Amino acid sequence: MELNDIQHAPGAKHAKRRVGRGIGSGLGKTAGRGHKGQKSRAGGYHKVGFEGGQMPLQRRLPKRGFKSTTLKYNAEVTLAALEQLGEAEVNILTLKTAGLVASIAKVVKVIKTGEIKKAVKLNGIGATAAAKAAIEAAGGSVN
């Protein structure tokens, strides 16, 4: 088999529909657009969501929910990730260089997922109550 011999599977490709090419083609005269009306005209259509003047669905339904734009500056680190990192002292900069948090992160919090056995000192990093207890049980501290 050569690259220039490769062909599509039979039936995978079909000819483009040519409309308005006479009665014999089956798509002559109105060319599949029906008779009269806005959709039959050239350039005639409506905007997305338009319901003929009826109040559109996106305006009938109530506005709901809120997503804070400051959430992108928050990050989480697990106890398992701290264990793998193997640093004695950890701050936001060490986590950024290790690639554990995004470079735009400003607030970092340690959550209790996994276990930690090494003593780790956290500087400028928050921790949940359970994570703090686990870190202090391993001989570390949270500032």
Whether the per-residue pLDDT at 44 is higher than 90: the answer is no
**In this structure, which amino acid lies at residue 6?**
I
Query: Which pLDDT belongs to residue 27?
Result: 94
Q: Is the pTM of this model over 0.85?
A: no
Is the confidence at residue 116, as pLDDT, over 90?
yes
List every span in the chain annotated with CATH 3.100.10.10: 69-142
Reduce the secondary structure of the chain to three states and give it as a string.
Answer: CCHHHCCCCCCCCCCCCCCCCCHHHCCCCCCCCCCCCHHHCCCCCCCCCCECCECCHHHHCCCCCCCCHHHHHEEEEEHHHHHHHCCCEECHHHHHHHCCCCCCCCEEEEECCCCCCCCCEECCCEECHHHHHHHHHCCCEEC
Q: What is the CATH number of domain 69-142?
A: 3.100.10.10
CA triple 101-114-78, angle to 5 deg: 15
pLDDT digits (tens, 9 = 90+) for 64-113: 999 999 999 999 999 999 999 988 999 999 999 999 999 999 999 999 99
113 Cβ contact partners less than 8 Å away, ≥ 6 residues apart: 78, 79, 80
Question: Which residues are paired to 29 by β-bridges?
Answer: none
